[in-house]
Amino acid sequence: MSEKTLYRFPEGFLWGSSTSGPQSEGIVAGDGKTKSNWDAWYEREPERFFDQVGPENTSTFYQHFREDIQLLKETGHTVFRTSIQWSRLIADGTGAVNEQAVAFYRQVFKSIVDEGIKLIVNLYHFDLPYALQERGGWENKETVYAYERYARTCFDLFGDIVDTWITFNEPIVPVECGYLGDFHLPGVIDAKAAALVAYHTQLASSLAVKACHETHPDHRICIVLNLTPAYPRSDSKEDQDAARIAELFQTKSFLDPSVLGVYPPELVDILKKHDILPLATQEELTIIKENTVDFLGVNYYQPLRVQARSSQPSEDEPLTPHYYYEPYDMPGKKINPHRGWEIYEKGIYDIGMNLKEHYGNIEWLVTENGMGVEGEDKFREKGVIQDDYRIDFIADHLVELHKAIEAGANCKGYMLWTFIDCWSWLNAYKNRYGLIELDLDTQERTIKKSGHWFKELSQNNGFER
């Protein structure tokens, strides 16, 4: 029997999980919440959502937060991340503050902090007030300033409890899925709009950083980015170029302005070439330059494998990132058969080295990493889901994260996606990610095997493998 290795993490390393308001809270009659983009889409096209489960149900955190916070303790959390729903807090995004929402969030935040759990609060998790969506959403610069006012409101209302903030979660996702695809509203293919939405989102993030530092100089604020490393099929110049451009679109488009304060010149040149570079004032670019994040949240699920295009784009082909590269389906890759995503643990090491070498070794947290599995009920024994596959997934990634930290990466914590099985947009509850099982019919919560393992991981600040 081979000898096990002990993977011990630095003192003070944080262990926990992430969720979001729209994916966990649900809607209660009379709670004062106004409609979000997701509420409106579900009303219009419920058949687009898996099993027609919409955002009004989710995991009823609104009613059960006290019990759920106890489950945080039972699963060893020392850190927890959730989000405020803009459409819950401020009527239609720009109207009156909902006092019921203020009371709810203050209770939640105080209860978490009182348990000795570090709280990180995200301001935006794909959930735009629908009234703003109807006025052009993030294509309209008014949304930028509405968001800035919303952020300042949050800092004022909750800044006595919360001291660590996130501006946006995975801002590239609504750009790709809503303006270069049909998985978020408005579901169009429009590269010029996509570039504008990305720019406006970055400007809004930088304005929130500025507001946070002005109102609470002792607070810390970051952006959460899904840093998906792009790996070329081969060492050929063509494949290497494809990977470089893929990273420009997928990663550097938000990473560089958020951390370095400037956009990559090559990305600017590409947008200029296609006549889709957003108009930016010098004042706006100065705001981005002077208001970089204090640390970084990193979401990592899978790598991006690319190759050079097999044919030249036609003159009438609409611009998408695939104008410059094609996906590469690598033979023999390790895969999560339930989700269809590649599992490549070394990606998390490569992210750490990239941040160390090119981004000033900025402090960062893993803010999402996890494994979605459909039909977990088949793994139930004696009433508990025996999710050894999730334990292996976490441990395998932690081996690479430990290696990165040993090599000097400035990572301060690991947060799994997710705490309790949550609602996942169009996929609803198709794939389960939680340490804790949710029975949708009864709303009963049951800790999975991984939840008990995670508590030991946290208590030991490491594991043997």
CA distance 250 to 172: 7
How many other C-beta atoms are found inside a 10 Å radius of the C-beta of residue 296?
23
How many other C-beta atoms are found inside a 10 Å radius of the C-beta of residue 282?
8
DSSP 460: H
Assess contact for 189 and 318: CB atoms under 8 A.
yes
CA distance 427 to 415: 22
Q: Look up tokens 């099929």; give the residue.
A: 233
Assess contact for 25 and 58: CB atoms under 8 A.
yes
Assess contact for 73 and 419: CB atoms under 8 A.
no
H or E element at residue 133: helix 130-133
Q: Which residues of the chain have pLDDT under 70?
A: 1
CATH of domain 6-464: 3.20.20.80
* 175: Cα within 13 Å, side-chain hemisphere: 26
Tokens of 86: 């803009």
Residues 168-199 have pLDDT tens digits of 999 999 999 999 999 999 999 999 999 999 99
pLDDT of residue 2: 72
* 411-417/462-464 β-pairing: unpaired
Assess contact for 349 and 400: CB atoms under 8 A.
yes
**Domain ranges for the chain:** 6-464
pLDDT of residue 277: 97
Burial track 152-171 (b if 16+ CB lie within 10 A, e otherwise): bbbbebbbebbbbbbbbbbb
Burial track 305-332 (b if 16+ CB lie within 10 A, e otherwise): bbbbeeeeeeeeeebbbbebbbebeeee
CA distance 217 to 235: 47
Q: Look up tokens 């419920």; give the residue.
A: 46
* Residue 76, helix vs strand vs coil: coil
Phi-psi category of residue 461: left, alpha or beta, with phi > 0 → left and psi -120 to 50 → alpha: left
DSSP string for 171-239: THHHHHHHHBSSSSTT--B-HHHHHHHHHHHHHHHHHHHHHHHHH-TT-EEEEEEE---EEESSSSHHH
Q: Which residues form the catalytic set? A: 170, 368
DSSP 97: B
pLDDT of residue 43: 96
pLDDT of residue 1: 56
Integer-rounded Cα Rg, in Å, for the chain is 21
CA distance 122 to 22: 12
Residues 212-230 have pLDDT tens digits of 999 999 999 999 999 989 9
pLDDT of residue 77: 99
What Å distances lie between residue 254 and 91, 203, 233, CA to CA? 29, 10, 25
pLDDT of residue 233: 98
Assess contact for 366 and 405: CB atoms under 8 A.
no
Question: Cα torsion for 81, 12, 398, 224, to the nearest 10°?
Answer: 30
